[in-house]
Structure 1
Amino acid sequence: MTAALRKTFCLTRRVPLQPQAPSWTASWRCAHALASVQKALRLPEKKLQGLLFPFSELEGHLARGVSQANFQLFHPSLEDIARAEALFVPSPKHKIDYYSSAVRMDHAPSINQPEVCFMGRSNVGKSSLIRALFSLAPDVEVRVSKTPGHTKKLNFFTVGKAFTLVDMPGYGHKAPKDFVDMVEPYLTTRANLVRTFLLVDGSVGVQKLDRVAMEMCEELGLPYVIVVTKIDKRSQGTLLANLLQLQEVIQKHTEGCYPQPFLVSSTQFHGIYLLRCFIAHVTGKLHLATSATQSGAERVS
């Protein structure tokens, strides 16, 4: 990473005036009411479409002539979504669990399977999203804090022998002081890392530090994807304005970013099924069944 990017990440860190006890909840004791797409199928068609493909709820607000193509590149069938979901269901032969944590790469576990990582600004909802993705495995402990910045290590979660998911410390406000020294070696040396998921808060739009993180991914030559969180926290008009701003940034200033941002709400479950399907696909564990989705999926790699 260039000295300028390092300086930006480090200068934005603020040290709290006094220590605060972490406030977090452990794993869910029971699965979310909409954890499975099978439960979602009982909903009215319009509500179901909004959960499966959140952008469908914004289409009517788009000005005439605005292209929707890049918002619908990855558009799997219901069958694809159901098959991907099976990977997120634990069984005696397919255990889903927290594996270990690391503060340096020499502490990182050696796991020989595809890996994806989640990174984003402190308080972007990263741990909440991971907990939603793992909601069909309620015994998995994903700590979610009421205060930002409680993730101080690289946390590794194994999904059977299919893939590993890594929860990274948040950058910006209350980031660990050694954030860059912890994260950069991981991103540059982790040979089995297949995709980085960069989270952006949909309620406030792209921030300066998000742009810095995108520049870092570009500089390191990482294939990455933008996940827009908290889409239930603002009006559809505000969300759409933030989304169009993000789309412009992706189109004009990135090369390694997948053109389609993924919209999610960890509380309402919008976009969770689609994101699971995308993760299954980029880790090589799901080949899309329908030819209609292949043209968009080809751009994943």
Structure 2
Amino acid sequence: MSARIRTTTRRPLYALRQHILPPTPSQRSKASWFFHTAEKKYVGAASTAAELPEINVPQIVFIGRTNCGKTSLLRALIYGTDNVPSTHIIRPSSTPGSTKDLRFYSLTAPQTQLVLTDLPGYGYGSSSAQGDAITTFLDASLNIRMVYVLIDAGVGVKPSDRRIVSMLDARAIPWRLVGTKCDKRDVSKRAGTVLAGLLDASAAMRNAPDGPDEVLLTSATAAQGTNELRTAMWRMLVDG
């Protein structure tokens, strides 16, 4: 892999505004078509700056605490929840925190390409080396359209999540909170409360309690929120 990264200009405010506007039926349809028909490829992994692949297309990044359901959500976003091929490109880790590298997945359709970047989990079972890899990537990559910070909805926002958001803010990288594992009974029974809590946490971290915001609740197994997240990514891809 090349150590050099070609980048495009980051436009965080534009990406944020486009992400908040309600999607049109046409946008939903085009997003569904893209994820259904796109050629899916595992680009590779990197644990150091020298191993980072050369990427000159938009990236959308996923990060979260270990065991937040990131791998399952990525698989659902790339393939949907039905008929996932046995040879799918997602490379899951065997135990939480054991993934020490960044993983890159490309989706390519005519005139449209997107790279989904899976960052190592932080928190339990992680290491300082993983934190260094994340920092190196964020400092080197200027073509990030959005970072989705995944929050286990049954656990809520923790100090480590706030530190990640502060790291993104310091680099002017746009971010959004996404609640995961929302099919679990203890979460689904109080979905309204969970959503309100994540919205409050997101607004507080932005220092804008009265400003516009958006949080998605998702379930990889129940296909909850995955189509909405696909549409949000598609809009950033074509409008960013």
Q: Does the TM-score normalized on the shorter chain lie above 0.5?
A: yes
Aligned counterpart for 1:216 among listed residues 163, 167, 190: 167
Amino acid at match of 1:140: H
**Root-mean-square deviation over aligned CA pairs:** 2.4
Amino acid at match of 2:49: M
Aligned counterpart for 2:35 among listed residues 63, 88, 108: 88
Q: Give the equivalent residue in structure 2 for 1:244.
A: 196
Aligned residues: 212
Q: Give the equivalent residue in structure 1 for 2:11.
A: none
Map 1:173-212 → 2, pairs under 5 A: 173-212=124-163
Map 1:8-87 → 2, pairs under 5 A: 73-87=20-34
Amino acid at match of 2:97: G
Q: Residue 141 and residue 176 in structure 1: after superposition, are their counterparts in 2 closer, same or farther (change >3 A)?
A: farther
More strand by share: 2
User: Which deviates further from its counterpart, 268-277 or 173-182?
Assistant: 173-182
Map 1:65-214 → 2, pairs under 5 A: 73-90=20-37, 94-135=38-79, 138=85, 139-145=87-93, 147-160=95-108, 161-214=112-165
State the structure with more CA Rg. 1
Q: TM-score, normalised by structure 2?
A: 0.80
Q: Deviations over 1:239-297 (max 9, x none)?
A: 3323222212222331699710111100000111110111111122xx6xxxxxxxxxx
Q: Residue 279 and residue 258 in structure 1: after superposition, are their counterparts in 2 closer, same or farther (change >3 A)?
A: farther
* Counterparts of 2:79 and 2:172, CA distance in 1: 32
Q: TM-score, normalised by structure 1?
A: 0.64
* Counterparts of 2:23 and 2:187, CA distance in 1: 27
Tell me the percent identity. Answer: 29
Amino acid at match of 2:220: S
Q: Deviations over 1:206-227 (max 9, x none)?
A: 1221122122222222111111
| Contact 1:155–1:168 (8 Å) recurs in 2 | yes
* Unpaired stretches in structure 1, ≥5 consecutive residues: 1-71, 288-300
* Unpaired stretches in structure 2, ≥5 consecutive residues: 1-18
| Contact 1:205–1:243 (8 Å) recurs in 2 | no
User: Which deviates further from its counterpart, 229-238 or 272-281?
Assistant: 229-238
* Counterparts of 2:20 and 2:171, CA distance in 1: 25
User: Which deviates further from its counterpart, 72-81 or 145-154?
Assistant: 72-81
